[in-house]
Amino acid sequence: MRLYDYAASGNCFKVRLLLGMLGVEYERVPVDIFAGDTLTCEYAMINPVRETPVLELDGGERITQSNAILWYLAEGTVWLPDGRLERGWVAQWLAFEQERVMGGLGGPRFLLATGRATEAQVARRLATGRGALEVLDAHLAARDWLVGEAASIADLSVFAYTSVAPVEVPANVEAWLERVRALPGFVDDFVPYPENAQLGAGSSIY
């Protein structure tokens, strides 16, 4: 199994988290997004939309989109509930993560950290992120995990960009972040954007 991966991406980080917690051996293939690695014809054969992560299976099949990868890896494990309703709730949180958390926290983090925008320019997106944190805070007021009585891929997915939120995180959410960090197999390898990610410093689709 091979993971095409960018270390500063929350979408890649969430996949590394699950692989680590499952104890799955895999080959990590670094993809330097801002050195033009995804712009090559060779990478377009791996993922036509030129994004990371990509999970390549031993048979050569590939899966793109981080939450789809999480679902594939979690099938048949404790990280994906058996119940129909609970699985629906997991899917609900995965959608929430892409729309509200990545859009309202992950996107602004990238734009601010790489000099692509000012806080004023991302104010509306940050408002979406703060709203997402308010929803999370209320949901976690009476429970430890997003779905059911144990951590699931819903928690890992939402955790990634929430853990580096460029705004203040409410108390219940902060406590939940610490619970995720305390899980067995947690991998603390989410890194800041490197210098070549700065506006004008590299070549990428961004």
Same domain, yes or no: 147 and 93: yes
**What is the rounded CA–CA span in Å between residue 166 and residue 181?**
19
Helices 10-22 and 153-162: angle between axes, nearest 10 degrees: 140
pLDDT digits (tens, 9 = 90+) for 33-71: 999 999 999 999 999 999 999 999 999 999 999 999 999
Same domain, yes or no: 70 and 95: no
- In a domain? residue 205: no
pLDDT of residue 82: 94
pLDDT of residue 172: 98
Q: How many CB atoms lie within 10 A of CB 39?
A: 13
Say if CB 13 and CB 190 are below 8 A apart. Answer: yes
pLDDT digits (tens, 9 = 90+) for 148-206: 999 999 999 999 999 999 999 999 999 999 999 999 999 999 999 999 999 999 999 99
Same domain, yes or no: 138 and 99: yes
Same domain, yes or no: 118 and 165: yes
109 is written with which tokens?
Answer: 């983090």
Residues 60-74 as b or e (16 or more Cβ within 10 Å = b): eeebbbbbebbbebb
**What is the rounded CA–CA span in Å between residue 117 and residue 110?**
9
pLDDT of residue 181: 98
- In a domain? residue 163: yes
Q: Domain limits at 45?
A: 2-77+189-197
pTM listed for this prediction: 0.95
Same domain, yes or no: 41 and 103: no
